Amino acid sequence: MRWSKVFIPTLREAPADAEAPSHQFLLRAGYIRQVAAGVYAHLFLAQRSFLKINQIIREEMNRIGAQEFYLPALNPAELWKESGRWDQVDVIFKFKDRNQHDLCLGITHEEEMTNIARSELRSYRQLPQIWYQIQEKFRDEPRPKSGLLRLRQFIMKDSYSFDLDEAGLDVSYQKHVDAYHRIFERCGLRFLHVEAFSGMMGGKVSSEFTAPAEVGEDSIAVCDCGYAANFEKAQSRPAPVDDLPGDSPPEPFATPGKKTIDDLVKFTAESPARMIKTLDFFVESHPVVILLRGDHTMSETKLAMTLGTDVFRPATPEEAFALHGAHLGSLGPVGLKGVRIIADLALEGRKNLLAGANRDGEHLRNVTPSRDFQAEFADVRQVEEGDPCIQCGRPLRVTKAIELGHVFKLGRRYSEAMHATVLDEQGKEVTLVMGSYGIGVERILSAAAEQNHDKDGLFLPRPIAPFEVILTAANMDDAAVRAAAESLYDELLKHRVDALFDDRDERPGVKFKDADLVGVPFRITVGKRKIGQGLVELLERSTKQATDVKLPEVIPALRGRLGC
């Protein structure tokens, strides 16, 4: 393409409402323009990138035997009511047609795909199936943000697997995990595959692929040994604590006015790791008492997992008083009757701890779990940066990351609700076992932009950059430069190099600045001084390393760098 003929509206300054680097540069480089909050027009350069990204996705999905579909974004309400999500999910764009029928725009397509599966799949002989599409999704997000990072309309590659049993699902799931690794690898991203929570999608096992970046919304705990998990789900070994010896029974002591762990630490000079923190919650009308080590923080997500529901709330001070016979500050587990007590794993096997005495102004020492009170032990603690890795014991790091893709073992959540069954070998009706797998296409581009920019602009990975090379003719009015550039451009096209020829009648400075901005990984510069010696310049954008190359050698040199 000749720059003089195409529309690449670069900006010298970033629009004031763009903050994230990917947002600023995609605007400045003329990739995108905003239409509304969380809604963007993809201009020429963006569309070229997306076509390349989609092609990579397609190739890798096809490679695992997935079949490409294209379902409508416009969905009748019936299916969503059947699965229960019409009322459960609040980001659905809902509206009525002229006949007052409820419709919505698809947020994802479990319902639609399951609907096809149930009406068409009859026999185990037809399994497994993997169906996918690259299609628009609509979500009425409470807070769209950061350019293409959180959109209300976005492109998703979503796929759905249908298997006869769990073993089959495991295979389909693993195929996706492998495909996703190849996709993100080929897109040139730095990424992590991490354990995750399934949230409202339903199902038990899920993991996500994330790209480390400052502006990411996910927090990821990572370790050098390869362990990586969503912060909400991450586990760690609690730092070991030496408990005091002895088997004395709990002994009350006065702690007037000491209400917090901090107060108690100052008052007793004991380590908070030797204290028990007591938190009361209610699940519907049932109280649940949560115990944690004094220096630990509870993870609401893990508690939700343990309780099997995310509908719970902290007890009011009055409710806590009714349960313990004491006010907040002196709550403890000893002597509680008929209440479910969940103790964090960090309290298992410990002895002689400090806890509230359930009498105002008093605490107990020598409290030993399982002797002085009974509790279920579960992991309800949020990890902290520096905690020993659950696998190898080295300190965990916490990093921000962009969620690129998420893979779920759904199980029978949708197939059961929508009666999607086939007959097995014995002629018995069997409910399909499903998986669902998503990739955010815009997020691949934004993550690449976040990971590959400097003060002057973008340098996208070659496979997803809108062009592979930009041919800059520094002086179009110089006959020798012009002739050399024109013939180089022809040669590049002949060699099927994806080239953008900056043939504009602009000053060299303007062209160099624009070339730096637009995210093309290589630049060939033809200038009037060097062309006299038969030389042109080959520059790698990411490092800005430039080398002078003899004119006939520049295309082989470039192709070598491009790996083709």
Partner RNA sequence: CGGGGCGUAGCGUAGCCUGGUAGCGCGCUUGGUUCGGGACCAAGAGGUCGGAGGUUCAAAUCCUCUCGCCCCGACCA
Q: Which is nearer to RNA, 4 or 316 (CB)?
A: 4
475 binds RNA (CB under 7 A): yes
Query: Using the rule CB under 7 A, which residue among 7, 36, 533, 563 binds RNA?
Result: 36
Cα-based torsion angle of the residue sequence 352, 354, 360, 362 in order, rounded to the nearest 10 degrees: 60
CA proximity to 244, closest of 267, 223, 219, 275: 275
Q: Which of residues 79-98 bind RNA (CB under 7 A)?
A: 89-92
> 546 — phi, psi (to 5°)?
-115, 140
Is the bond into 128 cis (omega within 30 degrees of 0)?
yes
Q: Which is nearer to RNA, 199 or 325 (CB)?
A: 199
Q: Which of residues 216-275 bind RNA (CB under 7 A)?
A: 217
Structure tokens at 412: 């029978």
540 binds RNA (CB under 7 A): no
Cα separation, 150 vs 529, in Å, equals 48
281-286 LR contacts (CB < 8 Å, sep 24+) = 281/312, 281/313, 281/314, 281/315, 282/312, 282/313, 282/314, 282/315, 282/319, 283/307, 283/309, 283/311, 283/312, 284/311, 286/340
Residues whose CB falls within 8 Å of the CB of residue 324, separated by 6 or more in sequence, listed in order: 280, 330, 331, 332, 336, 356, 358
Quick one: 262 exposed, middle or buried, by C-beta within 10 A (0-12, 13-18, 19+)?
A: exposed
Structure tokens at 448: 């690449």
Please list the helix, strand and coil fractions of the chain in percent, rounded to the nearest 5, in that order: 30, 30, 40
CB of 438 to RNA, least distance (A): 6
537 binds RNA (CB under 7 A): yes
Number of residues that bind RNA (CB under 7 A): 64
- CB 313: neighbour CB atoms within 10 A? 10
509 binds RNA (CB under 7 A): yes
510 binds RNA (CB under 7 A): yes
CB of 18 to RNA, least distance (A): 7
Query: Using the rule CB under 7 A, which residue among 446, 450, 525, 549 binds RNA?
Result: 525
x/- binding map, residues 290-329, to RNA, per CB under 7 A?
----------x---------x-------------------
Query: Using the rule CB under 7 A, which residue among 2, 4, 6, 17 binds RNA?
Result: 17
CB of 394 to RNA, least distance (A): 27
Q: Which is nearer to RNA, 369 or 440 (CB)?
A: 440
513 binds RNA (CB under 7 A): yes
145 binds RNA (CB under 7 A): yes
20 binds RNA (CB under 7 A): yes
CA distances in angstroms from 66 to 61, 234, 420, listed in the order given? 5, 31, 20
The residue written with tokens 């990072």 in the block is 149
Query: Using the rule CB under 7 A, which residue among 2, 4, 15, 120 binds RNA?
Result: 15
CA proximity to 380, closest of 304, 274, 294: 304
Q: Which is nearer to RNA, 85 or 324 (CB)?
A: 85
Q: Which is nearer to RNA, 183 or 526 (CB)?
A: 526
Instruction: Considering only the stretches 256-264, 269-277, 490-498, 522-530, report the one whose residues sit in contact with RNA under the rule CB under 7 A.
Output: 522-530
416 binds RNA (CB under 7 A): no
Q: Which of residues 168-197 bind RNA (CB under 7 A)?
A: none
Query: Using the rule CB under 7 A, which residue among 503, 514, 521, 522 binds RNA?
Result: 514
Structure tokens at 170: 């495991």
x/- binding map, residues 421-450, to RNA, per CB under 7 A?
-----------------x------------
Helix (H, G, I), strand (E, B) or coil at 102: strand
First-residue to last-residue Cα distance in the chain: 20
10 binds RNA (CB under 7 A): yes
Secondary structure element (H or E) that encloses residue 323, with its range: helix 317-324
Instruction: Considering only the stretches 7-15, 175-183, 324-332, 359-367, report the one whose residues sit in contact with RNA under the rule CB under 7 A.
Output: 7-15
Instruction: Considering only the stretches 10-18, 64-72, 282-290, 549-557, report the one whose residues sit in contact with RNA under the rule CB under 7 A.
Output: 10-18
Q: Which is nearer to RNA, 421 or 436 (CB)?
A: 436
Sign (positive/negative) of CA torsion 55, 61, 64, 68?
negative
Query: Using the rule CB under 7 A, which residue among 71, 201, 241, 557 binds RNA?
Result: 201
CB of 350 to RNA, least distance (A): 30
Cα separation, 84 vs 39, in Å, equals 28
Query: Using the rule CB under 7 A, which residue among 272, 361, 461, 508 binds RNA?
Result: 508
Query: Using the rule CB under 7 A, which residue among 193, 237, 495, 528 binds RNA?
Result: 528
The residue written with tokens 């569309």 in the block is 47
Query: Using the rule CB under 7 A, which residue among 529, 534, 550, 560 binds RNA?
Result: 529
Q: Which is nearer to RNA, 22 or 129 (CB)?
A: 22
CA proximity to 446, closest of 144, 179, 228: 144
DSSP class of 150: B
x/- binding map, residues 101-140, to RNA, per CB under 7 A?
------xx------------------------------x-
527 binds RNA (CB under 7 A): yes
Cα separation, 429 vs 416, in Å, equals 12
Work out the angle between the directed axes of helices 441-451 and 21-28 (0-180°, nearest 10): 100
530 binds RNA (CB under 7 A): yes
Cα separation, 32 vs 42, in Å, equals 5
Which residues of this protein are in contact with RNA, per CB under 7 A?
Answer: 10-17, 19-20, 23, 28, 34, 36-38, 89-92, 107-108, 139, 141-146, 150, 198-201, 217, 300, 310, 406, 438, 456, 474-475, 477, 507-510, 512-517, 525-531, 537, 539, 544, 546
